[in-house]
Amino acid sequence: MPDTIAAIATPPGEGGLHIIRLSGPDSLKILKQVFKPATGKSVETITGRRATMGTFNNPDSGDLLDTGLVTWFPGPRSFTGEDVVEISCHGGVLVSQGILQVLLHCGSRLADPGEFTRRAFVNGKLDLTQAEAVTDLIHAASERARTNALSHLQGRLSKKLEGFYDRLLGVLSHLETAIDFPEEGLEFNQKNKMRCDVQQVSDEITRLADTFKQGRIVRDGLKVVLVGKPNVGKSSLLNALLDEDRAIVTPHPGTTRDVLEERIKLKDLHLTILDTAGIREHPESIEEVGIARTRRALEQADLALVILDGSQTLDDDDRRLIEETKEINRCAIINKSDLPQTLKTDNLSASLKTEKQISLSAKIGEGLDRLKDHLYGIAAGGNLARESLIITRERHHQALTRSLESLKQVCQSLEEDQSEDLIAVDMNSALEILGSLTGKDYATDLLDQIFDDFCIGK
C-alpha cells in the first residue's frame, strides 16, 4: 500500500500564499493532527472539494503556525487518484516550511520530484505523454509552447497514438488468428490489405515524427548563431535585437572572445541568440579558443546568420566562412547598409545556397524589422498550422522512428509472403514501442528518467 507524501507545490520565496500538498491513504488522518476547522467541528466533517478555513497548529507544543484554507479531494476523484489534501497558507518561507515539517513529523514523507504526477500515472489518471505535458506547461516560455503543452495534457497526442496502436493491433489479431489456425492461412488479397493498412499507419506516423524539428523549436526556442569575420557587426546586431547594450562594441577586431547567449521574445515566441567570436585565418592565441567555441555553437544551431560587411568586398575570411557553414541552415545578413555599398550581392545567393538575403544597419536599426519577421517565420513553423499536432520531445521522436523501422519490416515481409510468425514478431515490436509512448508498456527506469525532470510538489 502506498505511503502518504507531502511537499510544497509553489515556488520557493515569498508571495501572497503557498500551497502544500498531501497525497496518500493517511492524508486526512495526518491533517487531523495539524488542522482545526474554524467551525469547531472535527476534520472528518470537512466536505470534499470545498475550502475550509481554520488554524494550523503544532500538535506537540500547541503553538499556532498559521491560519489558512484546506481543501480535501477524496480519491479516486483527485489528481493523483488518492486522497489528496491541499493547504493554502500565507506565502512566507518560514510559514510553509513550518507546516510542512509538522506534516512530515505526523507521518507523511517528503515527496520525490514529480511523485504526485507519477502517482497520477500509476493510478490511471493520465498517461505518460500527458504527464510530460505537465512539466512542459510549467516551463513553457511562449504562448505557442503553452498551447501545445496544454493540447498534449488534454490528451490530443494520446488519442492520436492510441489510434495508431488500435489499428495495428487489429492487423496483429488477423496474423495471430492465422498462426493459431494454420489450415485457414492468409490469402494474397488479405496480406495485401494488411500491407496497405500498415503502410497507411506508417505514413501517418512519419508525418507526426516529421513535426519534431519544429516542435523542438516551439518547446525550447529557435537557436540562432551570429557568425562572421571580426568587425562585421555581430555584437552590434545582438545589441540591436535586444534593444540594449549587452555586448561590448569597439572598432578593434577580436573584441568578442567568447560565446554570448541571450534570449529575446518575438511576439509569442522565444529565441536564443548567440554572439560569437569572429572567424579569421590568423587569429591571436586567445581568439582561437573563442573560434573553437563558435564552431561548437554552429553545430547546435537551428539557424546561422552569416553576417557580411556591405561596405567591403568579399575577402578570403568571408569565403572561408561561407564554405564552413554550407551544411547549416543559414541566412545572409548584409550589414552596414548606412554606408556606401561595395559588396556585390548578385552571385551571393549561389555561393551561399540560400535565396534569403537581408540588408540592414545594426547601427541605426534600418532593416531590423525584416530580420525579425524572417526569424519569427522560421520559429513559428512556416506553413505548419498553429493548430497542428506536433511532438516536442526527443523521446517521442525516437520511439516513432523506431516503430517505423519495425513497420517497414512488416510491410516488406508481407510483400515477400513471409510466414505469419515472422511478421507478428515485427508487429509486436512496433506495438511495444508505441505502447511505451503512452505508458502501456514501460520500465521503471523510463519513469525515473521522465519524472526526475519534475520539481518537488508536482
Q: Measuring CA to CA, which residue among 221, 231, 282 is closest to residue 254?
A: 231
- Whole-number Å distance between alpha carbons of 419 and 442: 29
- Residues written for the chain: 458
Contact 265, 230 (CB under 8 A): no
Question: What secondary structure letter does DSSP report for 13?
Answer: S
21 among annotated binding-site residues: yes
12 among annotated binding-site residues: no
C-alpha cell at 222: 529557435
Whether residue 59 has a cis bond before it, omega within 30° of 0: no
253 among annotated binding-site residues: yes
233 among annotated binding-site residues: yes
277 among annotated binding-site residues: yes
Helices (H), 90-233: 93-105, 115-122, 128-138, 143-153, 156-180, 188-209, 212-220
- Sequence-distant (6+) residues with CB within 8 A of 245 are 239
Phi, psi of 82, deg, nearest 5: -105, 175
Question: What secondary structure letter does DSSP report for 112?
Answer: P
232 among annotated binding-site residues: yes
C-alpha cell at 451: 519524472
231 among annotated binding-site residues: yes
Contact 360, 367 (CB under 8 A): yes
- Whole-number Å distance between alpha carbons of 23 and 109: 10
Beta bridge mates, 266: 269
Number of Cβ within a 10 Å radius of residue 27: 28
Q: Which helix (H) or strand (E) holds 416?
A: none
| Amino acid type, 138 | I
Helices (H), 210-347: 212-220, 234-242, 285-299, 316-324
255 among annotated binding-site residues: yes
Which DSSP string corresponds to 370-401? HHHHHHHHHHHTTTS-TTS-----HHHHHHHH
C-alpha cell at 420: 505469419
125 among annotated binding-site residues: yes
Q: Measuring CA to CA, which residue among 371, 382, 450 is closest to residue 218?
A: 382
114 among annotated binding-site residues: no
275 among annotated binding-site residues: yes
- Whole-number Å distance between alpha carbons of 102 and 62: 11
86 among annotated binding-site residues: yes
124 among annotated binding-site residues: no
C-alpha cell at 200: 497507411
- Whole-number Å distance between alpha carbons of 73 and 70: 10
234 among annotated binding-site residues: yes
Number of Cβ within a 10 Å radius of residue 195: 18
236 among annotated binding-site residues: yes
In the block, which residue shows the cell 505514413?
A: 203
Could you tell me which residues are annotated as the binding site for (6S)-5-formyl-5,6,7,8-tetrahydrofolate?
21, 86, 125, 458
Could you tell me which residues are annotated as the binding site for GTP?
231-236, 250-256, 275-278
Could you tell me which residues are annotated as the binding site for Mg(2+)?
235, 256
Could you tell me which residues are annotated as the binding site?
21, 86, 125, 231-236, 250-256, 275-278, 458
